[in-house]
Amino acid sequence: MRAAVYCGPRDVQIKDVPSPTIEDPHDVIVRTIAASMCGSDLYLYGGEVEQMVAPGRTTLGHEITAEVMDVGKEVSRFSPGDRVSFPYSVSCGLCLSCRVGQTAHCETTGNAIYGFGVAFGDLGGSQAEYVRVPLADNHLEHVPEGISDEAAVFLSCNLPAAVIAVDAAQIQATDTVAVIGSGPTGLLALQLARQRTQAEVLAFDRVPSRLAKAAAFGAKAVNVDSDPIDDVVAEATDGRGVDKVVEFAGRGDAFNLAVSITRPGGTISGGGVYLEREHPVSLFDMFFKNLQIRLNGFANAKVGQWRAMQAIERGVIDPTTVLTHRVSLDEFPQAASQFAEREDGFLKMVIRP
């Protein structure tokens, strides 16, 4: 089969690789209908975590809409022809972590993630023609008829992550909210947050086209490179600071910004992926301001997936509103570069193998 293979920093190539087969009676083999590239994939793509991957062998991607092609003899919930999607991390549904809702920390799979290298289970990625799905009965999900192939791609990671982070922020009807990071997941979170409050929602980013999209969704756009942040926040909050922050930039500086703009007693819900191990953070500021910090970057997507399905089915949100590009698998390497460079107007792609 053909798949996107990591060959080095910013070097993804479409190669012929062995097709997956049933290795365990609980496995399912699926054919990719549509896939995508997540912002968290950029850490791999850019070589920031190269110790986690096997260059020339690791296939990429963890977002998918797929059709079941073959099932192991112990699989009972799925049959060939079923349309499905999986959460980005594999979970057994039975261990203590899974039972308490920490499915991304499954003790059986050891934090296995599709397409995230040898450090996370060495599983094949979704940017490929076929994928092996382990522990399918407790992990894979049917896609309801009312959800399109393109919308279903968002069920693997982006929309569950947005749902989890916005829920954790506990936004009330009069709360002023800041969403830091106007990438695809940040914009989904912004739309969900906009529905929960009648007060102002501020969107922070540095990419003009993304800020324009945030403004179209009803937020006040704030450019972190050129706008007077302190003045904007003070004007929107009578000088107090925002009540709730949802952070999806996933960088230490963005977290520092969240701390600085949140009012005393406010809440920061961190949905971004933080890799800085030594980034300085002011414990004094967090202590003195009585901040509530809730980090959800390693999201328990299995827990949020059902809620995400409901949100699409009931018209709460249409995740395809952040979709800007449709590409073939052969076109994906160029599109990946455009996404990584935050090219003007490039926000989210769907890949059709």
Domain spans of the chain, in order of start: 2-156+301-352, 159-295
The whole-number pLDDT of residue 275 equals: 84
| Residues in Cβ contact with 22 at an 8 Å cutoff, skipping those fewer than 6 apart | 29, 70, 71, 72, 132
Are the beta carbons of 307 and 163 closer than 8 angstroms? Answer: yes
As its CATH architecture, domain 159-295 has 3-Layer(aba) Sandwich (3.40)
C-alpha of 280 from chain center: 25
Does residue 26 sit in helix, strand or coil? coil
Tens place of pLDDT per residue across the chain (353 aa): 999 999 999 999 999 999 999 999 999 999 999 999 999 999 999 998 888 889 999 999 999 999 999 999 999 999 999 999 999 999 999 999 999 999 999 999 999 999 998 989 999 999 999 999 999 999 999 999 999 999 999 999 999 999 999 999 999 999 999 999 999 999 999 999 999 999 999 999 999 999 999 999 999 999 999 999 999 999 999 999 999 999 999 899 999 999 999 999 999 999 988 888 888 888 889 899 999 999 988 899 999 999 999 999 999 999 999 999 999 999 999 999 999 999 999 999 999 99
- Alpha-carbon torsion, ordered 292, 298, 301, 307, to 10 deg: 20
Structure tokens at 195: 């529905």
DSSP assignment string, 37-83: --TTHHHHHTTTTGGGS-TTT-B----EEEEEEEE-TT--S--TT-E
The whole-number pLDDT of residue 276 equals: 85
The whole-number pLDDT of residue 172 equals: 97
Fold equal for 2-156+301-352 and 159-295: no
The whole-number pLDDT of residue 294 equals: 95
CATH 3.30.470.10: does it fit domain 2-156+301-352?
Answer: no
Are the beta carbons of 136 and 78 closer than 8 angstroms? Answer: yes
The residue among 170, 162, 219 whose CA lies nearest residue 189 is: 162
The residue among 332, 312, 347 whose CA lies nearest residue 143 is: 312
29-57 burial string, b = 16+ CB within 10 Å, else e? bbbbbbbbbbbbbbbbbeeeebebbeeee
The whole-number pLDDT of residue 51 equals: 85
Are the beta carbons of 47 and 108 closer than 8 angstroms? Answer: no
**Per-state percent for the chain, helix, strand, coil, to nearest 5:** 30, 25, 45
> Rounded to a whole number, what is the largest CA-CA distance in the chain?
63
| Residues in Cβ contact with 100 at an 8 Å cutoff, skipping those fewer than 6 apart | none
- Sign of dihedral through CA atoms 173, 178, 182, 185? negative
Dist. CA 44–CA 51, nearest whole Å: 10
Alpha helices in 61-183 (DSSP H): 96-99, 136-139, 149-153, 158-169
The whole-number pLDDT of residue 198 equals: 97
Dist. CA 329–CA 351, nearest whole Å: 6
Strands 28-35 and 130-133, by their bridges, are: antiparallel
DSSP one-letter code for 331: T
Strands 141-142 and 28-35, by their bridges, are: unpaired
Count of Cβ atoms closer than 10 Å to residue 87 Cβ: 27
Name the pTM for this structure. Answer: 0.95
The whole-number pLDDT of residue 281 equals: 86
Dist. CA 76–CA 131, nearest whole Å: 19
